[in-house]
Amino acid sequence: MARKIKRILKSKTTLEGAGVKLKRVFGAREVPMFDPFLLFDHFGSDIPDDYIKGFPWHPHRGIETVTYMLSGEVEHGDSMGNKGVIKSGDVQWMTAGSGIIHQEMPKRYSGVMQGFQLWVNLPAAKKMIPPRYRGILEEQIPTLKKEGAKIKVIAGTLDHTEGPVQDLVVDVGYLDITLEAKNTFEHTTKKGYKVFAYLIEGSGYFDDELIGPQHCVLFDNGNVVKIKSDDKLRFLLISGSPLNEPIAWGGPIVMNTREELEIAFLELDEGTFIKRGNSVKAARGFYQD
């Protein structure tokens, strides 16, 4: 059965971090509509002042953050000792688990610096697992080419091709799809999974409705997604298994109860937030920088 449109959202301009101008596609107001996904941001500008202040040291617990760069570079570092640069086409898949402190600082770029960040909720039984980090280079992401279509498989499986992000806590599919004009893409999705598409450029027909850039299409139940391009179309198609659990959300920390949130922020104040991999002194220093 083909999936019909359940909801269409238009991204909205907002400020985050130290003053980064970005487009928020969905967030706390849409919980639990996109379960297991919590937040999706589209950042991009050819004006460095819109992004150069970045996202200085800040904590996370209870979630995964997925950063996908289309163009530009972002320096990153975290309390586990990971550091480097996320370049054009690269992906950073970070599991905060019991707690991590990190920063993401875009570098000045000639042209449009553009990318996305997705937050994936962790189930209650896995919220306090040890944090981990995956850096995926562009050349590690398989690209399938079909007639009139190019598909990057970041996570999940398409035509027996698996994405490089393996061993995920929550089963997530993440595809970057480009269709030439007047082409059709069909994809079988798992029963009961939440599925949404975000249009990067161009326009296309979703359930026979013409949708344009910077719009998000949340699909209803079904097992097949069918999308037809009008002009050349590029979009992300993301799917995941819902958790169906209570959510207590406080800024960069997402738990299941208010008490768990209060404990997390108390531990930040006391310097006991980082549970594994780094000393309390190091974590306290990161947070204060």
CATH number at residue 152: 2.60.120.10
Q: How far apart are CA 195 and CA 161, in angstroms?
A: 19
Predicted local confidence at residue 276, as pLDDT: 55
Q: Is residue 250 part of a domain?
A: no
Q: How far apart are CA 60 and CA 264, in angstroms?
A: 10
Q: Is residue 106 part of a domain?
A: yes
Contact indicator for 54, 103 with CB cutoff of 8 Å: yes
Q: Is residue 272 part of a domain?
A: no
Q: Is residue 217 part of a domain?
A: yes
Q: Is residue 228 part of a domain?
A: yes
Q: Is residue 94 part of a domain?
A: yes
In this structure, are strands 20-26 and 149-155 parallel, antiparallel, or unpaired? unpaired
Across the chain, which distance is largest between two alpha carbons, in Å?
A: 58
Predicted local confidence at residue 47, as pLDDT: 97
Amino acid at 120: V
Q: Is residue 277 part of a domain?
A: no
Predicted local confidence at residue 166, as pLDDT: 84
Q: Is residue 275 part of a domain?
A: no
pLDDT along the chain (289 residues), means of 10: 96 96 97 97 96 97 98 96 96 97 96 97 97 96 95 96 93 98 96 97 94 97 96 98 98 98 97 68 37
Phi-psi region of 38 (alpha: psi -120 to 50; beta: other; left: phi over 0): alpha
Q: How many domains does the chain have?
A: 1
Tell me the residue range of the domain where 41 lies. Answer: 5-240
Phi, psi of 190 (to 5 degrees): -75, 140
